[in-house]
Amino acid sequence: MDPDLTKKSLSFNSARFLISAPRLEDCPLDAGAEVAFAGRSNAGKSSALNAITAIGKLARTSKTPGRTRLINFFSLNRENTRLVDLPGYGYAKVSRDMKDDWQKHLGHYLNDRQSLRGLVLVMDIRHPLTDFDQMMVEWCEHNKLPLMILATKADKLKFGQAKTSMLEIAGKLKAFTCVAHLIMFSATSKRGVDECRVALTDWLEGSKEARE
């Protein structure tokens, strides 16, 4: 490992594809710090990652829900520092078995991954807090994992409507102490990208110990 990697300041556009893992056993060494992007299928997780890293084609995006079927790891310019694109949940067009399989692997990843510093939950600002989103929020609360919510595709709404939606989301999440950041976001207009980078840097550079 390049010794410079330990002291370089974090740069998101240094992101490089590292590996795709179908199962927890296939993930890179569980050392250092990583932040994972979760959310329902088609919510805009991969697009958010591309906007944050300013690398247009880093994570594959698609109009067809269910594009990201593996746990995709991207390394940053710091030793053992990663961003992770998780498979979307709630994709209807796959078989029940396949769905169960993904959810099992996702569950293993979330429960066991020691280097996970926080979760970014990506939701469409027009359809926020689906049942599965709420489950994820409750899971983070229970497991004391910091959560950042990106209410994305804000460019699809007028600003006033987007603001109203944000207030509704904030109201519903008031009781959850795990919610560290709630950000109005758009991969298209880049709204919220800087705020998100600041929060991610804080998580990834923080001196927090590995999860208990």
Ligand X SMILES: Nc1nc2c(ncn2[C@@H]2O[C@H](COP(=O)(O)OP(=O)(O)OP(=O)(O)O)[C@@H](O)[C@H]2O)c(=O)[nH]1
Q: How far apart are CA 89 and CA 43, in angstroms?
A: 10
Of residues 7, 57, 63, 174, which one binds ligand X by CB under 6 A? 63
Among 101-109, 134-142, 183-191, 192-200, which window interacts with ligand X (CB under 6 A)?
Answer: 183-191
Distances (CA, A) of 35 to 38, 61, 69, 131, 174: 10, 19, 18, 22, 23
Does position 65 bind ligand X by CB under 6 A?
yes
Total Cβ atoms within 10 A of residue 197: 17
User: In whole angstroms, how close is the CB of 130 to ligand X at the nearest point?
Assistant: 13
Q: Does residue 156 belong to the site contacting ligand X (CB under 6 A)?
A: yes
Least distance in angstroms from the C-beta of 59 to Mg ion: 6
CB of 205 to ligand X, least distance (A): 25
Contact region with ligand X (CB under 6 A), list: 26-34, 135-143, 149-157, 200-208:
149-157
Q: What is the contact surface with ligand X in residues (CB under 6 A)?
A: 39, 41-47, 61-63, 65-68, 88, 152-153, 155-156, 186-188
